[in-house]
Structure 1
Amino acid sequence: MTLRFDVDAVVLDIEGTTSATGFVVDVLYPYSRSRFGALLSERSGDPAVARATAQVRELIAEPDADAARVEKALNDWLDEDRKATPLKTLQGIIWSEGFARGDLVSHFYEDVVPALRAWHATGVRLHVYSSGSVAAQRAWFRSSPEGDLLPLVEGLYDTENAGPKQEPTSYGTIAAALGTAPDRLLFLSDRPGELDAARAAGWRTVGVRRPGEPYYEQGVGDHPQAGTFDEITIARSTT
């Protein structure tokens, strides 16, 4: 069964939607975990690192926490899979450098890139909204097995510049930034809470259910669902 949508833009989740959560958990998380200590100790004066460190101290309510305590908090959040903004910021810095060095190559399901290219070719605008930082998103799309995919994507949104992914107001923020009516936006995600929030903001939604992903068994509630991007046809009216 093919789902058909007449929309102006598609906004993509990454983990579990375009790409395997297992790759993030098994490859990227350990990569960042092994490098938090060096980043915090050697580059504490970098503005982005200093800001994220201050945010960690605020979240754990320990304004005088040293680098070792901050690192422990980051690792605890990793273990909990907590979507804390400073964690995502510091991961983004580490991953961006890893992708740039060639240590890392991102993962995309095989049905994703052809669909993105086809949608882009028809004039559909593509954007990303992920709990991973904008820096991490940029590196992810730039370092795919099929080369630099960043030219396909117009905008990148995370929990810092848009807000929490399960809050309808975040989707309102993105719609306003895009200058697009909510009902002309389609959000693709594997997480029911995110889909519910997008729909509450007036967006169209599709739940992507891929075997082996964490939310596969739970399902996507009463949202339209697709197993691959091949099952989604995007058109854009010209009138």
Structure 2
Amino acid sequence: MTARYSDTADVILLDIEGTTTPVNYVFGVLFPFARDHVADFLTAHQQDAEVQSDIQRLRQEYEIDLVQGLSVPDWRGTEATAAVPYIHHLIAIDRKSTGLKSLQGKIWNQGYRDGRLRSQMFADVKPAFERWTTALKQLFIFSSGSAQAQKLLFRYSEEGDLTNFISGYFDTQTGSKREAQSYQKIADAIGVAPEKILFISDVTAELKAAQAAGMQTLFSIRPGNHSSESEGFAAIQNFDSL
């Protein structure tokens, strides 16, 4: 029997964009949806405590940007919708902002629940999830999108609800995906030695961080990804070999 990359791993940790899901779905569907609906969402939900917390985080980030001399849109006024130009700016530059990602998750929640959004998965994803579950491997997700957004993406997919296959979700509250300590935190949270975890991503900087923490790594090459240069990491084009 041909050995699979996952044979020595008890846990499979996955990135989303460019790994399970086409990059274009994130940039061509999710980001525009959040951008187009954020003003109406804030008008309707500006009194919600969790939304106010997101706005507070974003305001702190805005103040830091000003101190650093970055060019950002004016944020004037105390109403929640005053944050819209800055939010549009963060979406445009794809900043991995915890406040932004949390707010986007709330906006996407409405879209998924009323049927305007259905997430896309590569064709090999669901069969791989089924195969790994049968092999008693645990599956976790680590993405810059909020844990809420991750759950929504896998629950409301075109392939059906895939959340039953997933044991847990990690986001930027764990730490940057480009820092080794984030992966050590994940290993500690799961309760598995890093060398028993296989992390798959289309970003080599993330793979370097995971490797530094002791994890196994694979570079994901998918149609539409930003880069196919693996920088020496073992690469896969689908999950069929896992």
Quote the residue 2:198 is aligned against: 186
Is 1:7 the counterpart of 2:19? The answer is no
For the 8 Å contact 1:207–1:220, the answer to whether it is kept is yes
For 1:202, give the aligned amino acid.
G
Q: 1:2 to 1:228 in 2, by over 3 A?
A: farther
Q: CA RMSD in A?
A: 1.6
Is 1:77 the counterpart of 2:90? The answer is yes
Q: CA deviation at 1:2?
A: 6.9
Aligned-partner Cα distance in 1 for 2:77–2:130: 46
Q: What is the SS of the residue equivalent to 1:60? A: helix
TM-score by length of 2: 0.90
Q: What is the SS of the residue equivalent to 1:10? A: strand
For the 8 Å contact 1:57–1:65, the answer to whether it is kept is no
Is 1:156 the counterpart of 2:190? The answer is no
Is the deviation greater in 9-18 or in 219-228? 219-228
Q: What is the SS of the residue equivalent to 2:113? A: helix
Is 1:171 the counterpart of 2:183? The answer is yes
Is 1:87 the counterpart of 2:87? The answer is no
Aligned-partner Cα distance in 1 for 2:230–2:45: 42
2:116 aligned residue (103, 111, 133): 103
For 2:203, give the aligned amino acid.
R
For the 8 Å contact 1:56–1:86, the answer to whether it is kept is yes
Q: CA deviation at 1:100?
A: 1.2
Q: CA deviation at 1:81?
A: 1.1
Percent identity among equivalent residues? Answer: 36
Q: CA deviation at 1:146?
A: 1.8
Q: String of CA shifts for 1:86-122, please: whole Å, max 9, x gaps.
A: 1110110011121111111000001111111101111
For the 8 Å contact 1:89–1:133, the answer to whether it is kept is yes
Aligned-partner Cα distance in 2 for 1:195–1:223: 8
Quote the residue 1:49 is aligned against: 51
For the 8 Å contact 2:155–2:161, the answer to whether it is kept is yes
Aligned-partner Cα distance in 2 for 1:53–1:154: 30
Q: What is the SS of the residue equivalent to 2:149? A: helix
Aligned-partner Cα distance in 2 for 1:124–1:140: 21
TM-score by length of 1: 0.91
For 1:54, give the aligned amino acid.
Q
Q: 1:173 to 1:38 in 2, by over 3 A?
A: same
Aligned-partner Cα distance in 2 for 1:2–1:55: 47
Q: 1:226 to 1:43 in 2, by over 3 A?
A: same
Aligned-partner Cα distance in 1 for 2:172–2:3: 31
Aligned-partner Cα distance in 1 for 2:23–2:86: 22
Q: CA deviation at 1:64?
A: 7.0
Q: What is the SS of the residue equivalent to 1:126? A: strand
Q: String of CA shifts for 1:157-207, please: whole Å, max 9, x gaps.
A: 1001x1111011110111000000000000010000100000000100000
For 1:12, give the aligned amino acid.
L
Q: 1:122 to 1:56 in 2, by over 3 A?
A: same
Number of aligned residue pairs: 229
Aligned-partner Cα distance in 2 for 1:200–1:112: 27
Is 1:127 the counterpart of 2:140? The answer is yes
Aligned-partner Cα distance in 1 for 2:171–2:134: 25
For the 8 Å contact 1:11–1:127, the answer to whether it is kept is yes
Quote the residue 2:212 is aligned against: 200
Q: Which runs of 5+ in 1 are unaligned?
A: 233-239
Q: What is the SS of the residue equivalent to 1:70? A: helix
Q: What is the SS of the residue equivalent to 1:40? A: helix
